[in-house]
Amino acid sequence: MREDICSIPINDIFQPKEGCPFCRMRDMLEDRIATYITGAAMMEPDVREETNRLGFCETHFNHILARGSRLSVALILESLIAETSKEVFPEGKVPAKKIVEAVKRRQHDCFICENVEKNMRHLFDSMVKLWESEEEFRQIYAEQEFICLTHYGMAIEYAQKMHRKNFPIFAAQTAKLAKNQLAGLGDDVTHFCRMFDYRSKGADWGNSKDAIERSIEYFTSRKPEIQQKADEKNR
Ligand SMILES: [Zn+2]
Ligand SMILES: [Zn+2]
């Protein structure tokens, strides 16, 4: 895949200060890769070879469906179907174990997941360099709204390569952004639950109306697809 597709300036990712910066990083990468493979790279044999080999997970099948034309998705599927058929219904005597492995691999692998992960590491390395060298960027990092649970783990994992004297400062800052959000969500969810008590009739919802959606986003790094009104009784 062309390298420049995933080169994103770190400052562009960290400027907005809304939501988790690493979710924004992932969203940009997903968008660029899904747009690229259903557009400019449609006829590039090396990209097709990789999409045939890895396939897509549910999330990323949805992404290519949202970004590509129906014909481009069908062309990707055509060769993916042929390749999958050879693997999971091979000719001759093949041990059942091998078939199960092939199916499991098909269910687990994804072209976009793999490329996002690889490029997150590159971008993360650039971010660490920036954080270690520029006081101004440290400030921008500290001013992020929050860091979600998934990316809190990722940030701590990737940052271990940092200079030994810098790592504890970075880890503490990152933990603060993730921990404060979790604490705030805890308060908002408690307030939400109290609003269902008859004694709260007419009370202010405060920030609690979308506490469920924001909590799910914190845990999964993605906004939930189902949207309901704050006090909707769906059961
Ligand atoms: Zn995130
Ligand atoms: Zn995926």
Mean pLDDT of the chain: 92
Q: pLDDT-derived band of residue 41, with 50, 70 and 90 as boundaries? A: confident
Amino acid 76: pLDDT: 94
Amino acid 103: pLDDT: 95
What percentage of the chain reaches a pLDDT higher than 70?
Answer: 97
Rounded Cα distance, 140 and 217, in Å: 22
Cα 151 to averaged position of ligand 2 atoms, centre (Å): 16
3-state SS of the chain is: CCHHHHCCCHHHHHCCCCCCHHHHHHHHHHHHHHHHHHCCCCCCHHHHHHHHHHCCCHHHHHHHHHHCCHHHHHHHHHHHHHHHHHHHCCCCCCCHHHHHHHHHHHHHCCHHHHHHHHHHHHHHHHHHHHHHHCHHHHHHHHCCCCCCHHHHHHHHHHHHHCCCCCHHHHHHHHHHHHHHHHHHHHHHHHHHHHCCCHHHCCCCCCCCCCHHHHHHHHHHCCCCCCCCCCCCCCC
Residues whose Cβ atom is located within 5 A of ion ligand 2:
57, 60, 110, 112-113
Give per-residue pLDDT as tens, 114-157.
999 999 999 999 999 999 999 999 999 999 999 999 999 999 99
CA dihedral 34, 38, 44, 48 (to 10 degrees): 70
Cα 56 to averaged position of ligand 2 atoms, centre (Å): 5
Amino acid 231: pLDDT: 67
Give per-residue pLDDT as tens, 201-217.
889 999 999 999 999 99
Rounded Cα distance, 178 and 153, in Å: 10
Rounded Cα distance, 4 and 179, in Å: 35
More confident residue, 35 or 44: 35
Amino acid 6: pLDDT: 76
234, pLDDT greater than 70: no
Cα 164 to averaged position of ligand 1 atoms, centre (Å): 25
Amino acid 56: pLDDT: 97
54, pLDDT greater than 80: yes
Q: What is the mean pLDDT of residues 76-99?
A: 93
- Are the C-beta atoms of 92 and 36 separated by less than 8 Å? no
Rounded Cα distance, 121 and 107, in Å: 24
Geometric angle at alpha carbon 74, from 52 and 8, rounded to 5°: 65
Q: pLDDT-derived band of residue 43, with 50, 70 and 90 as boundaries? A: confident
Cα 218 to averaged position of ligand 1 atoms, centre (Å): 7
Closest ligand to residue 220's CA = 1
Amino acid 232: pLDDT: 66
Rounded Cα distance, 23 and 122, in Å: 15
Cα 53 to averaged position of ligand 2 atoms, centre (Å): 13
Cα 194 to averaged position of ligand 2 atoms, centre (Å): 38
Cα 144 to averaged position of ligand 1 atoms, centre (Å): 11
Closest ligand to residue 219's CA = 1
Give per-residue pLDDT as tens, 159-194.
988 989 999 999 999 999 999 999 999 999 999 999
Closest ligand to residue 64's CA = 2
225, pLDDT greater than 90: no
Rounded Cα distance, 171 and 175, in Å: 6
Amino acid 174: pLDDT: 97
